[in-house]
Structure 1
Amino acid sequence: MEYTQLGRSGLSVSRLVLGTGNFGPETSEEDSHAIMDRAHEHGINFFDTANLYGVKVDLSGERGLTEQIIGRWFATGGGRREKTVLGTKLYYPMGTWPNEGYLSALNIRRACDASLKRLRTDYIDLYQMHSIDRNTPWEEIWEAFTVLRQQGKVLYFGSSNFAGWHIAQAQEAARSRHFLGLVSEQSLYNLLSRWIELEVLPAARHYGLGVIPFSPLYGGLLGGVLRKQREGTAARSTSGFTAAVLARHRDSIEAYEKLCADLGEDPAHIGLAWLLSREGVTAPIIGPRTVEHLDSSLRALDVTLDDDTLAKLDNLFPPPWPNGGQSAPEAYIG
């Protein structure tokens, strides 16, 4: 396993993150424990979860279930907690009563304590804001986070789904308090969705945040979806939003799968390898439903994409600006 630092922090993390969003809704507790054990066997030490996880897309299920599954795994001992860099998130409401969500000082305190209880641990390595809260001032947020760190309940803080200017706001507010601030940003990033290259990636690089891409294969669309449909082995439904994206990009995805076949590699491995090659990316999040899915993902670490292949991928999935490879503000000019 390869390791790197999480942003400008001294924290050493694996170049692949184990995403746990399937634990509970899609993957049984027994299989979830097996996946986490196998992740450690492979040297993956960075796990990502959220207090909301446990619900399905339609919001059925139990909020907090995934953290409970992880907590029961930690409780089995064997140094599992000590070997794990644990990231969880807060923001989305965990109930229907006021102050059961978002980033007020009250909810930050309650949400952290609830996650610690479910996870059966006394500290969180990386506590991430799942989204921006436009109604809570940064002074309140950083004051509440400072207390958590002073109490030893949280070591590092991160963001998710932030715009570039949100990152700047957060970091300047932290600087005024002489506080470390954010060390990571978790964003949607893959060949089909490259919007963060405009402003989020530059902001993260400027402020020393590690970038943690989620949905690296865009819900399976970059994992060989057309081939799997032909073979009748597609595990995920291509309906609703996924079907609309597939219809819009079908020609590009078909060409992508052909390119991967010519390279002799699985499309999923190429999609992950492309992210690993991007400047500023710490580690993409993989969300295996089975041990076999996890084992397969590691191949991406051994794939090196040459300049010709990278150029072909840019041609198939061009960056979201007309001026070829430039970030903001140059991307907006001409």
Structure 2
Amino acid sequence: MKYNNLGRTGISVSEICLGTMTWGTQNTEAEAHEQMDYAVDQGVNFFDTAELYPTTPVSAETQGRTEDYIGTWFQKSGKRKDIVLATKVAGSGRDYIRNGREIDAAGIREAVDTSLSRLKTDYIDLYQIHWPNRGTYAFRGNWNFDASRQDKVKTLEEITEKLQTLGELVKAGKIRAIGLSNESAWGTQKFIDIAEANGLPRVASIQNEYNLLYRPYDLDLAEVSHHEDVGLLAYSPLAGGILTGKYQSGARPEGSRASINGDIGGRLQPLQEAPVKACLELAYEHGIDPAQLALAFCLTRPFMASVIIGATTMEQLKTDIAAKDVVLSDEALKGIADIHRQYPMAI
């Protein structure tokens, strides 16, 4: 397992991060513990969760259960100090989380304390803003994104308030580092600039979607990553399982994410069929498992801090973690580039 620096924090994270959003719905507590045991044995030292999880599906009844499962594993295993633990504060839109209000200072403090209690720990290594109050082009929002509706003054005031609050929590020892999620290049740079001007915590990472079918990060955000030492934590590197090929030709395997969450956040639609078929053919041509091809490609990107995998079965987990040992040939990388040129954004 390779390890990468998390921004300028001095924290070292495995290039594979264990995602957890199915724990509590698709996965039982025992299955979650088994996944954590296996991942750690394979060299994974980085877990990512959120107060919102599980998300397959999301509900008021299950919200927070994923953090509970991680907390009981820490109690049982005694391995809290071996793990870099990341979680997130949820934004607006769900009335069962702080009455659905936007992220503010009081909400961050409440969310951190609640997560610490569930996780049965007294500190969080990486605390992330799940999405910006002003909105995001993530989750297929890119097709109707309109920045002209944003209020710059309000946004900058909110960023400052968030950073001040997170700074207080760092000083209190409740969190070690901060990160963003579903954020833009402009938003990330403003977090950095305001932090540096005011002696506040510096953003260490951005958790955005990245996979063979969705690669906007290659552009402006990659430039921010390079110049500002803010690495990507890639979520949905398999496009919600689409890149495994299991949904080709309209298939919906029982118990799969598509059987629960419909179109997998807008990803599962006819335009993805052709590029996925091309990726599958490329993988088979080079004798590589399709999931491992997709993950191995993500691991080649120079801005990548860690790739977040998620699995509902141990077989899937073993396949995904083994992608760390897959080396893509120049021919395979050229094939990926050719597919991307033909289908630049298929989801």
TM-score, reference length from structure 2: 0.85
Partner of 1:54: 54
Residue type of the alignment partner of 1:159: L
Partner of 1:264: 287
Partner of 1:39: 39
Partner of 1:129: 129
Change (3 A) 1:315 1:99: same
Change (3 A) 1:96 1:286: closer
Shift of 1:241: 2.7
Residue type of the alignment partner of 1:317: H
The correspondence for 1:288, drawn from 300, 305, 311, is 311
1:46-103 CA distance string (max 9 Å, x none) = 0000001034335364211111111111111x43211110000003356448666532
Partner of 1:141: 162
Measure the CA separation in 1 of the matches of 2:255 and 2:341.
26
Partner of 1:317: 340
Partner of 2:173: 152
Change (3 A) 1:110 1:56: same
Q: Which runs of 4+ in 1 moved over 4 A?
A: 93-101, 226-234, 319-322
Structure with the largest fraction of helix: 2
- The answer to whether the 8 A contact 2:233-2:305 is kept is yes
Measure the CA separation in 1 of the matches of 2:107 and 2:73.
26
- The answer to whether the 8 A contact 1:194-1:320 is kept is no
- The answer to whether the 8 A contact 2:286-2:332 is kept is no
- The answer to whether the 8 A contact 1:164-1:204 is kept is no
Partner of 2:85: 86
- The answer to whether the 8 A contact 1:195-1:319 is kept is no
1:1-334 equivalences in 2 (<5 Å): 1-57=1-57, 59=59, 61-76=61-76, 78-93=77-92, 95-96=95-96, 101-134=101-134, 137-225=158-246, 235-237=256-258, 240-242=262-264, 245-318=268-341
Count of paired positions? 321
Partner of 1:330: none
Residue type of the alignment partner of 1:40: V
Residue type of the alignment partner of 2:173: G
192-201 vs 104-113, greater mean Cα deviation: 192-201
Partner of 2:150: none
Measure the CA separation in 1 of the matches of 2:267 and 2:6.
35
Residue type of the alignment partner of 1:110: E
Residue type of the alignment partner of 2:19: G
- Partner SS for 2:54: coil
138-147 vs 98-107, greater mean Cα deviation: 98-107
Change (3 A) 1:55 1:273: closer
- The answer to whether the 8 A contact 1:51-1:63 is kept is yes
Change (3 A) 1:96 1:47: closer
Task: Flag structure 1 segments of 5+ consecutive residues without an equivalent.
Answer: 323-334
Shift of 1:28: 0.5
